[in-house]
A and B are shown apart, each in its own frame.
Chain A
Amino acid sequence: MPSPTAGAEKPELREIGEFINGFGRLGYVADIGLATAVYLLVRLPKPLLIEGHAGVGKTEVAKVLASYLGTELIRFQCYEGLDSQSALYEWNYQKQLLAIKAREHSDKPAEELERHIFGNDFLLKRPLLRSILCESASPVLLIDEIDRADEAFEAFLLEILSEFQVTIPELGTIQAKQIPHVVLTSNSTRELSDALKRRCLYHWIDYPSLQKEIEIVRARLPEFDHDLGSKVVRFVQLIRQMNLSKPPGVAETLDLSRASMLLRMKQFDSATAEQMLGCVLKSASDLARIRQEGIENLMSRIAQ
């Protein structure tokens, strides 16, 4: 594990190839495009927005980057109705109440009390503030599924994304000590605002090719039988092309592979595939569709 220093100064980060190798060692198969994007994220430094279908490994990029750089991963999950208090900071009310009570009979002026209870001791730091306050090394800040938050929250993020600073009314503006490596992911369930997109680098992760997906299964599950693995991948790739309502991602391929390992499958045929179909298909209409197509039929198409 590399020593925790600011990313840009580390000599091995001067090469894009290093990222591919480093990610590979951690079980993430990155192509040159993604490696370049991550390289620029670290070197420029600029936030990186990753879009792609569900289950293609968007979130994983941030996790792997953090462990590659040997820094802290600060994960922040977006949801609808998210507000700045759960993203940035909150005051510890119970403690504030106690402090007010404890000083009830002191003759200090109210202004001083106010300064005291809105001080650092009473501040609960939420993920965004934590990423800004990190002392030792640039953390990786993962803002996951940004498309789930509303537009107001996007606007709120602009300051932190472009200036790497946050403003708290009671404390003033806080500048990042170590510029965090920011990774945003989106499932593109809605169009993000132009202002946000302009502040980010962009990378689109597509479904992997057959060869790449086989590599991924091998990298993630080295103990899994290779022939069986490539059969599983072929099967999922075939299903993926069938215009289902929820096409399986790489995550589903890995689930299916793990399931076959757990169940100690010796071979991957129509009977075993039928048994584990739930790992890959997540809706009743899709299941019906595949059954209608005939699993034997699909299996024979893989064998070709």
Chain B
Amino acid sequence: MLSNLAAPTPGQSISDDFESSIVQFCRFAYRNGLDSSVRSTIDSVRAARIVEGESLRNALRTVLCHSKKEWDLFDPLFESFWSGRPLDKPERSVVRLFGSTGKTGEQRAYFFSGDHKSKESQTIVRKRKTVAGATSIERLSKIDFSQLAGEDLAQLEQLSERLLRWMSFRLSRRVQVVHSRSRIDLRRTIRAAAARGTELIELRYKGRKTQASRLVILLDVSDSMNPYSHFLFRFAYALSKHFDQLACFVFSTRLVDVTSALKTTTLPEALKALSAIETFWSGGTKIGSALREFNRGYGRRIRSTDTTVLILSDGWDTDAPDTLVTELSILKQRAKRLIWLNPLLGLDQYEPVTRGMSAALPFIDVFAPAHNLQSLLDLERRL
């Protein structure tokens, strides 16, 4: 590839200046949100050599972009670079959201990467290392997430990691196929027979590959969900290890796709990736609008035959309940099952009478609590 780049194209003399400015443009684009690679820089230069004038913009766009998102970013970048005007940074409402409430910076730190573990509590954990007995596990797994104090929090985190991992392991075991003797796998049978001789004595079979079902998680991260979303994200992570096709979104007033954050190999990495995505933890809730955003933008990801939609929210909604009803009915039509987990359901006196929640009930297949670890583990049977 590189030697290819160095070789001059016959019949075309392009100055080094031009090529170096193409390279500079690529670097500029990478700095401003396009996905970078040496390969695409090389391709940009090669493309620039074989196009003329106006087509340069189209050519570079086709080479450098990899998705609709990048496609939409490209034109302003191109304008700005060649005209020398500074790039108008799109005002990100996210940033303003953080600015408006004083505590959010802190909360971010709390949510991400387990920073909230103070040194003190860590030492305590180390002292008591894994002496958590059966009763303690039972107590911890039944404690409401919102009632946790510092020391318990750290312990519960460890426990949840272990138990949730078990859950996802059991889930994946359950779908494994029993060896059925229905269909002969000729390919492997012949392969085995040819090596040994001629007769097909030993038959090989193939079973049906089980279809992994799909799961879409919609996680409410508004203020009112604050005590819970921390654990619910861990829960989502555990589930992502089982479902091949899992999409995860967080929402408060807007909806953000965080699926990529879950595709990491370890939980700390996932939390780190999540903090890199510009989300807007906390703030008000607009469930209806968030669902509409989902239906419009991602509705096609749902396949009615096998997709389960899991909504994790307390149902406090500042939208008109009509919006929620409309969007839920669309969602219900598309999905195989609609599960709503509500942390407040764990409270003794709670009745789902908030406007949003009572309007939503007719569309929900499974309505269950999600206030403590036990309630999350119980969900295993329903997935």
A36: interface (CB < 8 Å): yes
B65: interface (CB < 8 Å): yes
| CB within 8 Å of A: which B24-57 residues | 35, 37, 39-40, 43, 46-47, 50-51, 54-55
Q: Considering only CB atoms and an 8 Å cut-off, how many residues of chain B contact the other chain?
A: 46
A97: interface (CB < 8 Å): yes
Residue pair B300, A189 in contact (C-beta under 8 Å): yes
Interface-side segment among A37-45, A63-71, A135-143, A290-298: A37-45
Distance of A93 Cα from B204 Cα, bound (Å):
14
Residue-wise interface mask of A (4-43) relative to B, using a CB-CB cutoff of 8 A (1 in contact, 0 not): 0000000000001000000000000000110011011001
B358: interface (CB < 8 Å): no
Residues on B with C-beta less than 8 A from A285 are 330, 333
Distance of A302 Cα from B369 Cα, bound (Å):
51
Q: Considering only CB atoms and an 8 Å cut-off, how many residues of chain A contact the other chain?
A: 48
B296: interface (CB < 8 Å): yes
Residue-wise interface mask of A (240-268) relative to B, using a CB-CB cutoff of 8 A (1 in contact, 0 not): 00010100000000000000000000000
Give A92 Cβ to nearest chain B Cβ, in Å: 10
For the A-B complex, the count of residue pairs with Cβ-Cβ distances under 8 Å equals: 111
Residue pair B68, A16 in contact (C-beta under 8 Å): no
Residue among B43, B66, B195, B296 making CB contact with A243, cutoff 8 Å: B296
Interface-side segment among B162-170, B185-193, B221-229: B185-193
B80: interface (CB < 8 Å): no
Residue among B62, B196, B198 making CB contact with A37, cutoff 8 Å: B62
Residues on A with C-beta less than 8 A from B194 are 96, 100, 110, 113-114, 117-118
Residue of chain B at shortest CB distance from A243: B296
Distance of A194 Cα from B186 Cα, bound (Å):
36
Distance of A113 Cα from B190 Cα, bound (Å):
12
Residue-wise interface mask of B (225-269) relative to A, using a CB-CB cutoff of 8 A (1 in contact, 0 not): 000000000000000000011010000000000011000000000
Residue pair A110, B197 in contact (C-beta under 8 Å): yes
Residue-wise interface mask of A (98-124) relative to B, using a CB-CB cutoff of 8 A (1 in contact, 0 not): 001101100000100110011000000
Residue pair A100, B50 in contact (C-beta under 8 Å): no
Residue pair B43, A44 in contact (C-beta under 8 Å): yes
Would you list 25 pairs from A and B whose C-beta atoms are within 8 A, ordered by A residue? A37-B62, A39-B51, A39-B55, A39-B59, A40-B47, A44-B46, A44-B47, A48-B62, A49-B66, A51-B68, A81-B209, A91-B190, A110-B194, A110-B196, A110-B197, A113-B198, A114-B194, A117-B194, A190-B301, A194-B35, A198-B35, A202-B66, A204-B65, A204-B71, A245-B299
